[in-house]
Amino acid sequence: MSISQTVTDFVTLAIQAGGWMELDRLYLQNRVLAMIGEESLDPVFPVVVTKTSLELLDELVEQALKNGIVQEESADLEIFEAQLMDFLTPPPSVVNAFFAQHYEKDPVDATDYFYKLSKENDYIKTRAIAKNIVFPAETEYGQLEITINLSRPEKDPKQIAAARQATQVNYPKCVLCMENEGYKGRTNYPARTNHRIIRMNLDGESWGFQYSPYAYYNEHSIILSEEHRPMVISKETFHRLTRIIEVLPHYFVGSNADLPIVGGSILTHDHYQAGRHIFPMEKAPIEQYFELSDFPLMNAGIVKWPMSVIRLQSPNSEDLVEAAALILDKWQHYSDEKVSIRAFSEDGTPHHTITPIARRKGSLFEMDLVLRDNNVSDEHPDGIFHPHQEVQHIKKENIGLIEVMGLAVLPPRLNDELQEVEKYVLEKEHHIAEYHKAWADQMKENYSFNEANAKELIQKEVGQIFAQVLADAGVYKRTLEGQAAFKRFIDSL
């Protein structure tokens, strides 16, 4: 295809996206030509476009590389691609107006529109996400989901050096701030020209709704406060979560905990994660019901899960919020030395919080409250309720909201390392990491490996380790002693 046809087709898609009109065609064509370093355009009649926006983007970028406008493997290339895709993205006011129009018909229609736009304009990095390795793992808690995350591009040494030399700018304050919308990006900060945020009013406060560029699950979205302020789990959190599932009843929404070790990677900006995905924890049943005397219409129970989860269900969202707030307050001040549970350090530092997840179940509101404790000890300096040393060869990072719900986000190093483990158990030439050796030897004792079964068996064992990671992060262990201690806490409610 000629570059003239590529430019014409790209502009046709820009007009179809709704941010421009046919009258803008010549203007857009000239803007795109200038960006890719071309002087002129052969007359080409607009036709039905058969290529995707990403295919056309590749052709435009290829021409720009040939013309020396950008360099391969540079931060400038990401900025350049986002600026091109900005033509395919209506301005924020228009995107919000379209979202509202679709929402009047159906909330599902609205998120479908916004999700499709965010993929087609390459804000959601669909091609990078497709590189992730994903497999299920059967465990005693049902089928867990395992992801080896290969989607975030690794920086080469030149980029790392350039980032070190780059001027430090405190704008936007973080990657979740509203100021990212339309931001050009820089050597040490992602390009966001093609980024759009749907504005949400949550009880008089301004919030934003966007998708995650490197999604870990279907329609992985982020709901963020307009104000750059630290994450806090409080009664207001529970109230906002129930409001969000009233606005988007087909989505779950949850929050990372608000303390180090047990919290997410960004504690500096108040935000929640949402999406259209049924996680393993949601499928896990309540194995033991209990009563909350102040809430006679409430279903309450302990979930069959390696972490310590209380599930509340009620047709009344306010009751749910009040009950969750009661449990949070009780947990924040609750200690049980018999099982190493301490609410405060001697200096008054708090150690207890909750990871909450809300969803709709027909006419019921449902909230899972995962008890978290970030104490450390001499035996477990990384955290008493954190992946212990023997499983850190697979996962040593914080157990955040997504892992809590049963989806492992494992580091990219495992892609190569597990291939070496496979060679080792098949007794081929290998370069197995020393920290995988004991695990690999144990597997060799348990299984007869061959070419046909090795990969599957190793993946199965990774799943078992992830279940153990969650059990390590569980405050009340699934032992007689642990469950008796859990009951003591429940009785205190």
| pTM, to two decimals | 0.94
Q: Cβ atoms within 10 A of the Cβ of 482, count?
A: 16
pLDDT interval class at 473 (50, 70, 90): very high
Q: Do 222 and 212 meet the contact criterion of CB atoms below 8 Å apart?
A: yes
For residue range 253-300, list pLDDT tens digits in order.
Answer: 999 999 999 977 788 999 999 999 999 999 999 999 999 989 988 999
For residue range 443-457, list pLDDT tens digits in order.
Answer: 999 999 999 999 999
Could you give the CA distance from residue 123 to residue 191 in angstroms, rounded to a whole number? 9
Check whether 304 has a pLDDT greater than 70: yes
Residue 64 structure tokens: 């720009």
Could you give the CA distance from residue 422 to residue 416 in angstroms, rounded to a whole number? 10
Query: Closest Cα to residue 303, out of 476, 488, 144, 146?
Result: 476
Residues 357-377 have a mean pLDDT of: 96
Q: Which position has the token pair 């919290």?
A: 263
Check whether 150 has a pLDDT greater than 80: yes
- Lowest-confidence pick of 22-36, 158-172, 459-473: 158-172
pLDDT interval class at 188 (50, 70, 90): confident
For residue range 42-60, list pLDDT tens digits in order.
Answer: 988 888 999 999 999 999 9
Check whether 469 has a pLDDT greater than 80: yes
Residue 320 structure tokens: 């749910």
Q: Which residues, 6 or more positions from 131, have their beta carbon under 8 angstroms from its beta carbon?
A: 150, 151
Check whether 153 has a pLDDT greater than 70: no
> What's residue 164's pLDDT?
57
Could you give the CA distance from residue 147 to residue 217 in angstroms, rounded to a whole number? 10
Q: Cβ atoms within 10 A of the Cβ of 430, count?
A: 14
> What's residue 158's pLDDT?
58
Dihedral in degrees, nearest 10, Cα atoms 484, 486, 489, 493? -110
> What's residue 187's pLDDT?
87
> What's residue 53's pLDDT?
98
Check whether 249 has a pLDDT greater than 80: yes
Could you give the CA distance from residue 141 to residue 281 in angstroms, rounded to a whole number? 8
